[in-house]
Amino acid sequence: MPRYALKIEYHGGPFVGWQRQTNQPSVQGAIEAALAKLEPRDHNIAAAGRTDAGVHGLAQVAHCDMEKDWDPFRLSEALNYHLRAQPVAILACVSVADDWHARFSAVERRYLFRILMRRAPATHLKGLVWRVNNLLDADAMQAGADYLVGRHDFTTFRSTICQADSPVKTLNRLDVTRVDGVHGPEVQFDVRARSFLHNQVRSFVGTLERVGAGSWAPEDVKTALEACERAACGPVCPPDGLYLAGVGYPDDPFA
């Protein structure tokens, strides 16, 4: 069966997350329903990462197997037609080898998190940012973030319901940048690793927000990391503002 890689953009607000759930709207379910319009049967697509409820996708990657030999452009156009009522779009579609896998072939996941710093409620960005009332010190947050980069036991920043075999992960990058946007100043996080624990990024951001607000010192992040106890983590931030921004492969199929 011909296999195709899909690059997908979506707004996570209406969905319970990426993963298909019975009688619940999911991104996976929406795309599989669109595929069934093209080839009437059960479809089971695989994605690079399973985003939670309210988390957005800028460049999620999934693959699907089709019975017909589709032109990739026509397949993407047909899927977008059937997805037009949903906040989901196929940005690109390419033919890949039968053994290529959206999840297992990936070598890096990239997440973006956005904090909007203003007292007024978010209107245009509602659901797309985490709004905080006060300005945060991005330099202090970066100093705290630097303690997290590298290979560590991330038990402190791991959800209690995480199903990963080990809490040890290698964090490739955690960059904190202030951006003066049209809707107000933001702090943006660029977080990269081969794989993540459940709620790891949101635990990082919630903890570092405490540093930016002056409630924690940057060194307190190191103390929390070394404690290897969930109770040592700062507050877990809401999913608003979190985006799966990209997936890296040894040979980018979309290049």
Q: Residue type at 14?
A: P
Distance (Å, whole) CA 48 – CA 193: 13
Q: Give the pairing type, strands 56-65 and 3-10.
A: antiparallel
Task: Check residue 230 and report its DSSP letter.
Answer: G
- Cα separation of 113 and 89, whole Å? 21
Q: DSSP secondary structure string, 157-198?
A: GS-TT---S-SEEEEEEEEEEEEEETTEEEEEEEEEES---T
207's tokens: 């903890």
- The number of C-alpha atoms within 13 Å of 38 and in the hemisphere containing its C-beta is 23
How are the residues of the chain apportioned to helix, strand and coil, as percentages rounded to the nearest 5? 25, 30, 45
Task: Point out the residues that are catalytic.
Answer: 52
Q: Scanning the structure block, which residue is given the tokens 């560590």?
A: 152
Which residue carries 């951001």 as its tokens?
205
- The residue with tokens 């690793």 is 193
Helix (H, G, I), strand (E, B) or coil at 3: strand
Angle at 233 between CA 202 and CA 216, to 5 degrees: 100
